Structure formats: C-alpha cells, structure tokens
C-alpha cells in the first residue's frame, strides 16, 4: 500500500507504548502468598513443564489446584509449555517445581514481558493491520488512523498477559469476512481452545457461516460448505483435546475446571447487570442457585436473539461485526460468573466497527477502560492508564473528528429516529442529547478517578467507588437512586444502542413497513475532511 | 461541543503531535536514568539550601555546579516547586536520593519545560517554505518538520530516559533561529545571549551568530549582486547588539562579579585542561575561518543556518572529549534545512541516523533495549520515507554507497547487543561494541560534515532570495 511507512510508524508506536507500559508493576507484584495473574502464568509454565499431561488439571500433591490451578483450555497449557522450554534454556530456576513459587526478579519480568510482546507482534498486530488494510471505501490515511486508534486502545495494553486468543479470534473474523471460511473457522476454534470466554463470540460465527451456507443453497454448494466447516471444527477440537480423550474422567475434569458453575452469579465488582442490580436488590440472596442460572441463561438468549436471527437471514461482513458486538455485550451483561476483564471480549469487536460509528465506539472504549479502573489501581497502573486513555482519546478525536459525526445518520440511528418521529414529531434532538450525555459521562469518569485516587470510601460502603465505576457502564432505572448511581443514566444510550444493534433496528423497521432510507447498506465511503 | 469540534478539527494536527509526544514522555517516566539525575537533584539542593555566595564553591557532592548562572537560577526556581513534592531532595547531604516523588518531580519538570521547545518548533514551522502545494497533510514540509523536531529520537532518549534538560535549551536556540529567519534580529540575538548563559556549550555556534548578525543586521543594505555594501554599516545597530549581549551577561554574571567570584565561576565552567582547550578550540576556529570568506557572501538565514551547523559539527568532530550528546546540536538545526532542499535532506538523514545510533551506548540496560530500538526504527523509517516522498520528483536521496552504509547499522546493532555478549571475547575485550559503534558512526558523521562543507562552497550565492 502507499504510505506503508506511516503504517509501519503506527505499528512501531503501538509496540513502544506496549513495552513502556509493561515496564510498570505487574499484577500481584510483591504480594505473597497468592501474588497475582503474573504468578499464575509462571506457575502454569512450571506445572506444564514438570508434570505429565494427565496431571495438569487434577489436584495432586505436586499440583495444588487452589494455587492458580489451570482453568483454561488445553491450548493455553501448550503455550505455557512452549514458554517453559524457553525459560528452561535461560534460567531453570524460574520454573523449578515447588521451589519457584513466588519467584520474582528483574530478568524474569523481562522474560515474561518479552513473551507477551512477541505474541502480540506475531498474532495480534498483523491481524489489526490486515483488518485496517481490508476496510473498504475509506482512504489510506483513514485506514492508518484506524490502525493507530485500535493499537492505542488502553484496555489491551494495560491488562497484563498476552491476548493470544483475541489475536486468533481476530484472524478468525478476518478469514470469515474475506471468504476464507475454513481458515477463519480454524483460527476461531483455536481461539476458543485457548480461552473458553471466546464462546461469547461463537454464536455470531455460527450464524454468519450458517447464513452463508443457506445463501449458497442447502442442496448444493451450501451443504458442501457446511460439511467442510463442521469437519474443520471437529478436527481442530480433536487435535487440541487429543491427550485428554484417553479417559472420560480427564475430559470431564477439564470441563469442570473451565466452567465453574458452582462459583456463583458474579464475583468481585464487575460492570454487568447482576452486579449493578444487586446494589438495590440482593439477587444472590433472593434467588436459589439453579434459578439464577436459568434466569441468566434466558436473559442472555433473549438479548442476542434478534441480531443472530438477522445475521443468519442476511449474512454480510458488516452485519457480522455488529452482531459480534451485540452478542459479546449480551453475554457480558447477563451471563454467569463474568470477570471484569471479559469486557475486552466486547471491546475487540467494537474496535472493528470503529470506522463505521466512531463516536459511539470511542465512547464505549473509553468507558470500558474506565470500568477496569479498580483492577488497574490494584496493580499500580494509574499513570499508564491515564496516559494511554488520553492518548487514545486524542488519536480518535483527531482521526475521526468524532464530535462532528453525531448526526442521526452518522450514528446509524436514522431508522430508529424516523420511526419514533412517527409518534413524536418533535423528536429531533437525539444528537444533542447524546453529545451532552457524552460530556457528562466523561466528566463523571474523571471525577470518579480523582475521587478513587485521593479519597477513601466511607466505612460502611468500602466498595462504593468500585460499584459506582461498574454501574457507569451499565444502566439502572429508578431516579431515586440518582445520588448513588448517577453515572448509569449516561450509559443508557450506549447500552441500548449496541444491544439493539443498529442493523437490527433497521431490519426490524423494514419488517414493520416503516419507510425509511436504509442507511446501513448504502452509505457511500466518506472522504476524510480532517487532514487537509 | 462546538469548541471541542473546532479543537479537533482541521488545524489541530500540531497540537495532536505535541500532546502525543508529551504522553509518550510520561510513559518513559519509570525508565532508567543516569547519574545526571543525581546531578540535577544536587543542584536543586545547592541552589535551594545555600546562599548565592556558596553556589559555585559547594563541593559536598562530586557533581558540582558547572553551568552558567542562569541555569543555577532556573534550578532555584524549580526547587521552590520541588519542596511540595519531597522536601528531602533539597538536602545537600542526601546524596543519590531518589524517592518516587523525586523521580516524578524531576521527570515532570523536564516534560513541562519542553513546552518552550514545542513553541519554538511552532515558530520554526512558520518559517518553512510552504510553496510546494500539497493538499495532503502528511506531505507538507511543515508537518514533516514538526515530526522530525517534536519526535526527535535523540532528544527523547537523552532528555526523558537518560535525563537532561536539553529540551528547553534547544527551544531557546530554535526560537532564536526562527526570529532571525523572521528578521527579528534583536530578539534572536537576545535569545541567544540568554541561551549562552544557560549552557555555555552553545559557544561553539556563537561565531555563526556573530558573523551573521554582523553581516545581515549591521550592514543594512546589499549591492544588487548580493555582496556587502560597505558604506551601509550601521553603528547604532552594532551598539544595540553589543548592549543586549552586555546587559544579559551583566544580569547573569553581575552578582558573582560583585562577590569577586568570577575566576571560580569560570574555572567551574571551563575546567582547566590546557591540552583540551588547544585540542578543540583551535581547529574549530580554523574550520570557521576557512568558511569565513565564503560565508560573508552567503545571503540569507539559510546560509547562517548552514554556518551554525558547520560550527556545531566541526566542534563535534575535532573535540575528542566532546560528549556524544553534542551531536544533537547539529542534528536539530539541520532538520530545518532538510525540508527545504533534497541535498540537505540527504545530508540530514545520514547525519541524524548515524548520530542517533551513536547515542545507543547511553542506554545500556536491558529493559530499555526494546525502547531504543523501536524508537530508533520509528524515527529513521519515518524520516527517510517522508523526505523521500517530499523530494520524489528530484534525484534519489542516497547513492548505493550511502544506502549500504546506513543498512549496515542493522547488523552492527545485532552484533553488538545480541551476539557479542554471548561470545568469549566479552570478558577479554568488553570495549569492542563501543569501539565499533564509535568508529562506524564517525565515518558517517565525517562524511556528512564533508558533504555539508562542499554544499556551502558550491551553493550559488546569487539567486538565493531572502526567505519570508
């Protein structure tokens, strides 16, 4: 491509930012006895290197599952094994069985950071660059700006360990969007086998590929494609799980480690519906365990059904990306045992739609980073998070001139607004509401950050700030609780916007015979007005 | 909202570049810092805790005050902010004190004072010829110059990792150059005089200023063919220039003159080593004398800039005790010339690439290795590609020899940092990487110096109109 040097500069900048941030403290640094995620990664290298495969997922005297037992699928274990071989070559003390617990040193930190950087460089970054280059109907400069913004997204920079699974998932998205269906589904299967949370993205993949098969005709090419895809999926799963198929108990134990259903509806303070609602209504105490599971399952399914159905009937790469966002968000908001870091699974698809709805995406990505603030503060990452958030904001603001792109059409809410105007003719102020809400939201985030850092929360409510931060992301209803949960109201538009999925609203509006210009399928590429 | 959209709209790319590099500097806060960190902490302590009469006599620490008085006053001003961060750093006896708050304060003080550098770059961009009508932002000379200056690799790693206060000093120098380009000679002279009293190393380029001001300011008119009209000499202007310099010096050295401490101050500023003085002042003057007659007929600020760069480079070349960082004195002004002509761009690229590479030994710690490699690649790839694109209609910037030489830096780095430490020579001859780096870079810098000299001599004096 022309201006390849600018793209190279962007990639180098992304790598530099990643490395400089990683020079800071890591999770659990100097905090015995459990330390943190960093120690977990090191421990997995120790376990996979020193013990035979049969013992990896089982509790034994050599492998105490309470101390960071493996709870990710086999590919993570294989990756840890690979890193362990390198570690063995450099310094065996790092992974010596038992004696290396809590091992911390400058050299080891460099090693761990280097493995993360190399994984990013080989998998994630090429996928981002390729995605931006394949974007249609936008200028080269816009593509490069897009790459810059995605690479500067703070969430993926600040969270410790490598995002192998997100890189693989991104390759999956790319492959499937560019009609390399088999390779794409292979990449995605590998991603699922790396971290089970990738299942958040599995429904859109399934629906998109199914839709493609339907389009090609069930009796001809479509069927062939279906069989090939099924074969690929089965083959990749078998390949990854092969060592564990020898005994039934093995496979079951792994599954039990991957899906700990007995751990409850949520842990910690995560920015989803259950945590927010439990501020007013102690769900955990009201509903029994199995009912919680059923309620959570039903709500998740209900919220993602419209988008998935639409994708199956009308498969397209654009619709696929939007559906990824809405499904991942549904899972995040309503699912069981969601971790704060799972917001990254939503952020990745939002990064992919950054060029289409820049304003909302930027807003969402800022709020998603902010929602992880308690975690980041725990790891002493205040300065890097503030700096990277500001850098991301500046990059997005200058690249996409987001503040000029808040008209109804640009927010893809034209069909929605038109249908509302049928009943309420005065409803023309949507863009202004959204702009004001954005400003309020940003101010709230800044204030909450300052408060969290400088003040201590009141004694009776020790998790007050964490809860406030998590409710910023979701929404809640009663105006009574404005004092406690003010930020939520500003997040209602984001939530509603993405969960409804703008192609879905257009499609529903069409189905309801609302005459409207369908802005989703016919929007021509816009020439950038900014860099002149 | 309208204000925000204006801010992020068309003309704000400069602000975005400046803010971006500032945020990068914030990320470099936890990196390695050299003994210069302790040097400046010590000077904060000296100027804050002791009376003026003691400043140039204090020797508790080995890092005694050896910059001119303005810099001492600058440290004094900083110390009044420092006391809100950590009072302990201002204690003269707290040698090597580096609490996290001290680190934060010192790093932020460098980042903050860089604001002057940003302003100076903004002024320099105004002086750049925008004749090449480019609608494309990234191909405009202003944009390229801004990136080359604001994101200069050498300045980033010397100031924000190694730790120094070069940012605002170069800001002063670039601002004085910009003022001379804008024909505001008095301001330019004043700024340079102030700069001299901040850091006396800039004396290297004083001849260029002196000659240019004499030539273009004191002689108020030229003959049609460009040479001097001797009867247009203006005594008034000469006197006003002299007065400016005198007043600034009086302000700086006055208090010490009153205290009879001038000899002590000078002994600190110019450590008395007879051989050293002869080794680098004489050839410097000789080098400048060579160009003197040509310089007198060179018209315009561009000629002045060339002369300045030549002075800086010559002093770098012939003073073997000069620090590697002094190469920045030549690289930064050269950036201004590089966006003007293809020949200058070629010289700039060779100079900056080898000059920046020669700074690598300053950062020898493992965590900083990826940073220096990534930033070096970033700057080098961007500078070469953008200048090539800017001058794509002219002949290629490099011949095969130069290309080969520049590409050779890659294998050299791989050998020095990745291969050599694992060989058996590391114990017997640990200085080999340093030796190889210095020699390899010396070739490039000498070549650039030579090319620049040749370009000064072969530039046609007539027809070079005064810019802006």
Q: What is the pLDDT of residues A392-437, one digit of tens each?
A: 999 999 888 877 766 666 666 666 677 777 777 776 777 788 888 8
- The pLDDT mean for chain A works out to 80
For residue B461, what are the CA distances in angstroms to B130, B306, B333? Answer: 22, 13, 21
Tell me the CA distances in angstroms from A289 to A270, A271, A295, A333, one per residue in order: 19, 21, 10, 18
Closest CB to B8 among A16, A24, A397: A397
**Contact at 8 Å (CB) between A216 and A227?**
no
Report A:379-408 residues touching B (Cβ under 8 A). Answer: 383-384, 387-388, 390-391, 394-395, 397-398, 401-404
C-alpha dist (Å) from residue A298 to A159, A179, A292, A323? 31, 33, 10, 18
**Confidence class for position A188, pLDDT limits 50, 70, 90:** very high
Q: What is the pLDDT of residue B468?
A: 37
Cα atoms found within 13 Å of the Cα of residue B420, Cβ hemisphere only:
20
Are residues B5 and A403, on separate chains, in Cβ contact within 8 Å? yes
State the average pLDDT over residues A243-251. Answer: 80
CA distances from B87 to A309, B82, B93, B110 (A): 66, 7, 13, 19
Confidence of residue A509 (pLDDT cuts 50, 70, 90): low
A341 touches chain B (CB under 8 A): no
Please tell me the predicted confidence (pLDDT) of residue B466: 41
CA pair distance B117, B102, nearest whole angstrom: 23
Tokens linked to A511? 């189905």
A12 touches chain B (CB under 8 A): yes
Q: How large is the ipTM?
A: 0.90
User: Minimal Cα–Cα distance from A98 to chain B, Å?
Assistant: 28
Report residue A532's pLDDT band, with 50, 70 and 90 as the boundaries.
very low
Which one has a higher pLDDT value, A418 or B109? B109
Instruction: Tell me what pLDDT residue B460 has.
Output: 62
Give per-residue pLDDT as tens, A71-121.
889 999 999 999 999 999 998 888 888 888 888 888 999 999 999 999 889
**Which of B150, B128, B139 lies closest to B344, judged by CA?**
B128
Task: Determine the pLDDT at residue B131.
Answer: 66
pLDDT tier for residue A179 given thresholds of 50, 70 and 90: confident
Q: What is the pLDDT of residues B42-86, one digit of tens each?
A: 999 999 999 999 899 888 888 889 899 999 999 999 999 998 998
Q: Which residue has the higher pLDDT, A531 or B434?
A: B434
Residue B138 has pLDDT above 80, yes or no: yes
Contacts of B31 (CB under 8 A, 6+ apart): A20, A23, B160, B161, B367, B368, B371
B-chain residue closest to A388, CA distance = B23
Give the minimum alpha-carbon distance from A445 to chain B in angstroms, rounded to a whole number.
18
Residues of B in contact with A20 (CB under 8 A): 24, 27-28, 31, 371
Asked whether the beta carbons of residue B370 and residue A19 sit closer than 8 angstroms, the reply is yes
pLDDT in the model for residue A496: 62
Tell me what pLDDT residue B306 has.
Answer: 87
The pLDDT score that the predictor gives to residue B17 is 94
- Asked if A5 and B382 come within 8 Å (Cβ–Cβ), the reply is yes
pLDDT, position A466: 64
Q: What percent of chain A has pLDDT over 70?
A: 77
Q: Cβ B9–A402 below 8 Å, yes or no?
A: no
Residue of B26, B383, B388 for testing the chain A interface, max A β-carbons within 10 Å = B26
Give Cα B357 to chain centroid, integer Å.
16
The distance of B33 to chain A (nearest Cα, Å) reads: 14
* pLDDT score, position A30: 76
Q: Is B306 helix (H, G, I), strand (E, B) or coil?
A: helix
Per-residue pLDDT at A317 exceeds 60: yes
Chain B interface with A: residues with Cβ < 8 Å: 1, 4-5, 8-10, 12-13, 16, 19-20, 23-24, 26-31, 135-138, 366-367, 370-371, 374-375, 377-378, 381-382, 385-386, 389
CA distance B438 to chain A (A): 26
> What residues 13-32 of chain A have any CB closer than 8 A to a CB of chain B?
13, 15-17, 19-21, 23-24
Q: Give phi and psi for A517, each to the nearest 5.
A: -75, 120
In A242-316, which ranges are continuous DSSP H helix? 248-258, 273-277, 283-286, 289-313
Would you place residue B250 in the very low, low, confident or very high pLDDT band (cuts 50, 70, 90)?
Answer: very high
* pLDDT for the residue numbered B210: 87
- B421 to chain A, minimum CA–CA distance in Å? 14
Spell B301-320 as b/e; 16+ CB within 10 A means b.
Answer: bbbbbbbbbbbbbbbbbbbe
With CB atoms and an 8 Å threshold, state whether A21 touches B20.
no
Confidence of residue B464 (pLDDT cuts 50, 70, 90): very low
Average pLDDT of the segment spanning B123-146:
84
Establish if A6 touches chain B: CB-CB under 8 angstroms: yes
Task: Compute the distance between CA of residue B151 and CA of residue B130 in angstroms, rounded to an integer.
Answer: 21
Task: Match 């992020």 to its residue by tokens.
Answer: B8
């Amino acid at each position: 491509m022309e201006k390849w040097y600018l793209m190279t500069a962007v990639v180098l900048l992304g790598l530099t930012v990643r490395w400089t941030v990683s020079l800071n403290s890591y999770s659990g640094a100097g905090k015995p006895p459990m330390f943190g995620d960093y120690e977990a990664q090191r421990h997995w290298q120790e376990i996979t290197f020193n013990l035979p495969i049969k013992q990896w997922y089982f509790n034994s005297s050599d492998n105490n599952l309470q101390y960071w037992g493996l709870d990710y699928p086999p590919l993570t274990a294989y990756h840890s094994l690979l890193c362990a071989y390198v570690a063995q070559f450099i310094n065996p003390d790092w992974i010596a069985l038992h004696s290396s617990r809590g091992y911390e040193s400058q050299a080891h930190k460099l090693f761990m950071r280097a493995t993360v950087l190399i994984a990013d460089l080989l998998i994630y970054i090429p996928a981002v660059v390729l995605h931006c280059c394949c974007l249609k109907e936008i200028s080269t400069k816009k593509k490069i700006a897009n790459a810059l913004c995605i690479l500067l997204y703070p969430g993926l920079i600040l969270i410790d360990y490598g995002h192998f699974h997100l890189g693989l998932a991104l390759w999956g998205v790319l492959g499937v969007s560019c009609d390399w269906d088999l390779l794409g589904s292979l990449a995605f299967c590998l991603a699922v086998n790396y971290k089970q949370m990738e299942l958040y993205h599995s429904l859109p993949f399934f629906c998109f590929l199914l839709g493609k098969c339907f389009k090609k005709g069930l009796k001809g090419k479509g069927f062939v494609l279906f069989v090939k895809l099924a074969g690929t999926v089965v083959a990749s799963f078998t390949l990854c799980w092969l060592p564990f198929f020898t005994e039934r108990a093995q496979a079951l134990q792994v599954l039990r480690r991957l899906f700990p259903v007995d751990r409850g509806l949520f842990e910690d303070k995560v920015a989803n519906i259950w945590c927010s609602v439990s501020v007013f209504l102690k769900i955990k105490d009201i509903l029994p365990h199995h009912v919680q599971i059923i309620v959570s399952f039903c709500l998740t399914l209900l919220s993602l059904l419209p988008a998935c159905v639409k994708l199956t009937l009308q498969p397209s790469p654009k619709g696929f990306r939007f559906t990824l966002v809405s499904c991942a968000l549904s899972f995040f908001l309503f699912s069981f045992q969601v971790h704060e870091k799972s917001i990254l699974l939503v952020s990745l698809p939002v990064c992919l739609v950054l060029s289409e709805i820049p304003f909302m995406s930027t807003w969402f990505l800022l709020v998603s980073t902010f929602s992880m603030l308690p975690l980041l503060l725990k790891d002493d990452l205040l300065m890097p998070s503030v700096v990277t958030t500001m850098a991301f904001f500046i990059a997005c603001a200058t690249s996409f001139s987001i503040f000029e792109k808040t008209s109804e059409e640009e927010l893809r809410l034209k069909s929605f607004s038109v249908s509302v105007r049928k009943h309420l003719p005065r409803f023309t102020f949507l863009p202004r509401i959204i702009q004001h809400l954005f400003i309020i939201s940003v101010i709230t985030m800044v204030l909450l950050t300052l408060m969290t850092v400088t003040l201590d929360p009141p004694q009776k409510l020790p998790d007050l700030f964490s809860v406030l931060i998590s409710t910023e992301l979701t929404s809640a209803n009663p105006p009574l609780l404005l004092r406690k949960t003010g930020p939520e109201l500003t997040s209602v538009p984001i939530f509603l916007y993405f969960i409804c999925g703008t192609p879905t609203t257009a499609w529903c509006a069409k189905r309801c015979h609302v005459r409207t210009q369908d802005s989703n399928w016919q929007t021509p590429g816009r020439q950038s007005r900014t860099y002149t | 909202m309208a204000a925000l959209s204006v801010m992020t709209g068309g003309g704000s790319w400069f602000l975005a570049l400046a803010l971006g590099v500032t945020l990068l500097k914030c990320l470099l806060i936890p990196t390695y810092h050299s003994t210069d960190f302790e040097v400046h902490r010590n000077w904060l302590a000296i100027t804050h805790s002791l009376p003026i009469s003691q400043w140039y006599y204090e020797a508790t620490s080995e890092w005694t005050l050896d910059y001119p008085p303005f810099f001492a006053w600058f440290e004094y001003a900083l110390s009044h902010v420092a006391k809100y961060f950590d009072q302990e750093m201002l204690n003269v006896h707290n040698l090597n004190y580096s609490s996290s708050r001290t680190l934060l304060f010192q790093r932020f003080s460098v980042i903050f004072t860089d604001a002057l550098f940003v302003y100076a770059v903004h002024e320099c961009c105004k002086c750049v010829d925008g004749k090449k009508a480019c609608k494309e932002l990234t191909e405009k000379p202003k944009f390229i110059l801004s990136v080359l200056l604001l994101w200069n690799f050498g300045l980033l790693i010397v100031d924000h990792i190694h730790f120094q206060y070069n940012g605002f000093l170069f800001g002063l120098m670039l601002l004085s150059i910009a003022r001379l380009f804008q024909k505001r000679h008095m301001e330019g002279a004043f700024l340079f005089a102030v700069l001299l009293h901040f850091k006396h190393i800039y004396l290297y380029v004083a001849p260029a200023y002196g000659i240019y001001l004499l030539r273009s300011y004191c002689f108020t008119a030229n003959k049609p063919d460009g040479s001097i009209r001797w009867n247009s000499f203006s005594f008034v202007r000469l006197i006003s220039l002299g007065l400016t310099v005198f007043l600034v010096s009086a302000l700086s050295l006055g208090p010490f003159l009153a205290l009879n401490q001038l000899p002590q101050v000078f002994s600190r500023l110019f450590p008395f080593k007879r051989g050293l003085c002869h080794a680098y002042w004489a050839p410097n003057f000789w080098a400048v004398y060579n160009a003197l007659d040509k310089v007198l007929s060179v018209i315009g600020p561009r000629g002045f800039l060339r002369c300045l760069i030549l002075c800086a480079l010559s002093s770098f070349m012939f003073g073997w005790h000069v620090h590697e960082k002094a190469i920045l004195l030549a690289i930064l002004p050269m950036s201004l010339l590089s966006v003007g002509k293809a020949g200058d761009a070629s010289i700039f690229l060779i100079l900056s690439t080898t000059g920046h590479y020669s700074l690598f030994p300053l950062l020898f710690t493992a965590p900083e290795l990826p940073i220096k490699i990534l930033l070096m690649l970033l700057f080098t790839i961007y500078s070469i590609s953008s200048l090539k694109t800017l001058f794509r209609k002219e002949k290629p910037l490099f011949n095969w020899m130069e290309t080969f030489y520049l590409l050779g830096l890659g294998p050299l780095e791989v050998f020095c940092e990745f291969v050599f430490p694992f060989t058996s020579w590391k114990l017997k001859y640990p200085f080999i990487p340093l030796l190889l780096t210095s020699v390899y870079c010396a070739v490039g810098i000498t070549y650039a110096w030579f090319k620049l000299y040749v370009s000064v001599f072969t530039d046609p004096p007539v027809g070079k109109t005064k810019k802006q």
